[in-house]
Structures are given as structure tokens and as C-alpha cells.
Structure 1
Amino acid sequence: MSEQGLRARKKQQTRDTISDRATRLFLERGFDKVTIADVAAAADVAKMTVTNYFPRKEDLALDLGPVFVEQLAATVREREPGESALAALRRAYLAAAAEQSPVVGFSGPDFAKLIADSPALLGRLREFHEEREAALARALAAETAAEPGDITPRVAAAQLAGVHRVLFEETMRRTLAGESNDVIAAALTGYIGRAFDVLAPGLERYAVR
């Protein structure tokens, strides 16, 4: 491995360690009762190191935020030849539900409660949903060569991201209600089909590669 690769790996390891220690503290004490200094001490790093990796305290708990924000746009950019944005996103969500991916809300009851009990984390999660919709709109505009004044990509993104948000919140609701991931995944598979079917009349031929 090159020196640059080793540095990147070390940085990722440091980031993961900080995030893991922070999550443990948040689960033990509650998000609002843990300080950046507490996280730094638990991870055996300086406070500045914590904030260099995670400028906002909320991102210590929601460390998959960057992946979450780019998820839909990446799926659209990587869709198969002949596949629409709608079809690609449906396929990807079904796969994520089958894998019980934390990116689509399979976080476990303790973590779901941590988020639900913290207005700060709920607020940051709302921001991630908004950022994800904006990223999807940009990807759709690029993939369809839309004119700058064309609102179609934004309208499509609002509908597609909206379905993802509803499904994510349903997963969280069921998790907080005590349902197992297997039960939630089974129910979600049916919901995904119904949700994307609602959008099909308007979007099944949109952004076909």
C-alpha cells in the first residue's frame, strides 16, 4: 500500500474510532448530556481532532450522513442501460431493505430512540433529507440535460425523495414500536412496491438511460 493509501486508511480508522466511542457515550447517557470533550477523552484524541472530522456534534451520531445524502443521486448516476431513475431507485431500495441497511433506517431500537429523544438529531436528520433531495435534483438535471430554468428535475426529485422519506420514517416508527428488523423488512418490501407504483404513471419513462 502506498504512503498516501496508508494515510487515508489511518484517517478513516481515526474517524471510525471517534464515531464508535461517541455512539457508545450517546447510548449510555443520551445525546444532549455528552460533550465534545467527553468524546475526545473516550477516543483518546484532542477536541480539535474530533471537530476536524465532525464539525457538528450531531454528525458524530449520524455519521452515515454523507452516504445518506448521496445515496439517491449515486443510484441514478449508476442506473443500468434502459433503466429509468424510478426503476433504479426502486431496485436499490428493495436491495437495501433485504440487507436491512442502516442507511435506510434499520438502526435498532436503542439508536432509533436516541434519535427520537433528541430534537437536535431530529433536526439534523431533516436537513439530511433536504440535502439528499437537492443532490438528487442535481443528478437528474445532469442526466437529462435539463435547461437551467426547467423545474422538472426538482419536481421529480421531490416526489422520489419524498417516497424515500416516508419509507425511512415508517422503518423508524416500527423500530420504536419494538418490531424486529426481519418483520420490518418484510412489511417494507410491500410498501416499496406500493409507493413506487404511485409514482409510476408520471415517472416510469423519465430519466431513462
Structure 2
Amino acid sequence: MAGLRERKKQQTRQHISDVATRLFLERGFVTVTVAEVADAADVSVNTVYNYFPAKEDLFFDREEEVVDLPSRRVRERGPGQSAADALLGGLRQDVEERSSRVGLQGGYDRFLQVIQAAPTLQSRLMGMQIRMSGRLAETLRGEAGAGPDDHTPEVVAGQLMLLYGIAFRTVAHGTAEGASEDDIARLLLEKLDTLERLYGDEVRGYLRRPA
């Protein structure tokens, strides 16, 4: 029964999120109220807040997954892979698969427009990027068994986060310019290759697992 209840809760959460996303993309984040989301999803306002404590949570409903992605890829790196290998490999795979994780999907231009028109979403996005970097640093520190006076994990995390900054800017700029997904993907892969080449040996080899 517990499993069934949990599945129903997840279905309700996803339904509310899907309805909210549709309304935000159609009308903008600022103009849509939580009450309107609740009405369109056929639930109470309290139910919406039970699943999404803040209105911004409705828009960034996968925030925790996004924040944890670089850390998860480091934790799950394979034999012979370094932290940089894991993140570069994951990003390249996302690009090649035209994954929504890097914005290579139809409708991403409207998604960006909604964010640009809502200061609270811009602030939330910045906060997510800070959390992502901080969590990656914590993951690297834990994996390395580094002490509190060792600044290497934090510095390496900052270097590796450049990958995600470049990916976001490249896709956002290309989308705004009307470039095709294939052209954006090609350009992004070229930039990832350049950044990998410019990384020093210590960053490229940090936390390499034995083959």
C-alpha cells in the first residue's frame, strides 16, 4: 500500500507540474497565479503548496535532480575515469542525444523567455548554479578524503563548473539567434573539446579511478 500511495503522490505532483509548466509557457510566470494552476489541475491551492512550497518550485520542478547531476556523474564514474572525464563524457552524451538537460529540445526558446521575464526565476536559477557548484565541491572533497584545509576540491569544482556555464550560454545564445539544434550541438562539442584541451593535467586527472 505504501508503494501505491507513493506512486499516486508522484503522479499528482507530476500532473500539477505539467499543468503549471503549460500555463507558464503560454502566459508567462508572473501573470499566472498558484490559484489558477490549482484550478487548471483540479486540485486545491493547499494541495499545490503541499507539493510545491514556492511558486518557483512549480517552474523548476526538477531542481534537485539538476543540482545533483554533476555530483552524481562523479560518484558514478567508471574505472579509469577522472571527475573531469565523467562530466565531459556526460555532457557530450547529453549533446549527442539532444537531451533536455542541455536545452537541445523544441520549445527551449520559450522556456528561456519565461525566465528572462521573471526576476525571481533568474535569482532562483543563479541559486541553483551556486548550489550545484557547492555540492560538486563537497562530492569531490568526500571522494578525495580531503581535509578542511585542502582547497583543491573547491578549486577543481570551480574549473569543472565552467563546462556547464559554457553549455548554458552556448545553447541559450544559439537558440536566441534561431540556430538549428544540430548547429548548436556542433558548436558546443567544439567548445567542450577546447576546454578539455586547456585544462591542466591536475584538473583532467583529478580523482581518476584505477582502471
* TM-score under structure 1 length normalisation: 0.93
Q: 2:124 matched to 1:124?
A: yes
Matches within 5 A, 1:98-109: 98-106=96-104, 108-109=108-109
3-state SS in 1 of match to 2:161: helix
Amino acid corresponding to residue 86 of structure 1 in structure 2? A
Tell me, in whole angstroms, the C-alpha distance in 1 between the residues paired with 2:74 and 2:186. Answer: 25
Give yes or no for contact 1:163–1:196 (8 Å, CA) kept in 2: no
* TM-score under structure 2 length normalisation: 0.92
Aligned to 1:94: 92
Aligned to 1:21: 19
Tell me, in whole angstroms, the C-alpha distance in 1 between the residues paired with 2:113 and 2:73. Answer: 29
Matches within 5 A, 1:56-71: 56-71=54-69
Tell me, in whole angstroms, the C-alpha distance in 2 between the residues paired with 1:59 and 1:184. Answer: 29
Shift of 1:58: 1.4
Amino acid corresponding to residue 84 of structure 1 in structure 2? S
Aligned to 2:38: 40
Give yes or no for contact 2:38–2:45 (8 Å, CA) kept in 1: yes
Aligned to 2:139: 139
Tell me, in whole angstroms, the C-alpha distance in 2 between the residues paired with 1:72 and 1:80. Answer: 14
Q: 2:67 matched to 1:79?
A: no
Amino acid corresponding to residue 182 of structure 1 in structure 2? D
Give yes or no for contact 1:113–1:176 (8 Å, CA) kept in 2: no
Structure 1 residues 117-164: Cα deviation after superposition (integer angstroms, max 9, x where no partner): 222211111111111001101110011110122111111111111321
Tell me which moved more, 46-55 or 88-97.
Answer: 46-55
Give yes or no for contact 1:106–1:172 (8 Å, CA) kept in 2: no
Structure 1 residues 64-93: Cα deviation after superposition (integer angstroms, max 9, x where no partner): 211110000000000011211011111000
Tell me, in whole angstroms, the C-alpha distance in 1 between the residues paired with 2:204 and 2:109. Answer: 35
3-state SS in 1 of match to 2:199: helix
Tell me, in whole angstroms, the C-alpha distance in 1 between the residues paired with 2:139 and 2:85. Answer: 15
Tell me, in whole angstroms, the C-alpha distance in 2 between the residues paired with 1:148 and 1:109. Answer: 42
Amino acid corresponding to residue 110 of structure 1 in structure 2? R
Aligned to 2:197: 197
Matches within 5 A, 1:141-180: 141-180=141-180
Shift of 1:97: 0.8
> 5+ residue gaps in structure 1?
none
Shift of 1:115: 1.5
Structure 1 residues 94-127: Cα deviation after superposition (integer angstroms, max 9, x where no partner): 0011122222233522212112222221111111
Aligned to 1:114: 114
Tell me, in whole angstroms, the C-alpha distance in 2 between the residues paired with 1:168 and 1:26. Answer: 21
**Number of residue pairs the alignment of both structures matches:** 207
Amino acid corresponding to residue 156 of structure 1 in structure 2? V
Tell me, in whole angstroms, the C-alpha distance in 2 between the residues paired with 1:64 and 1:106. Answer: 17
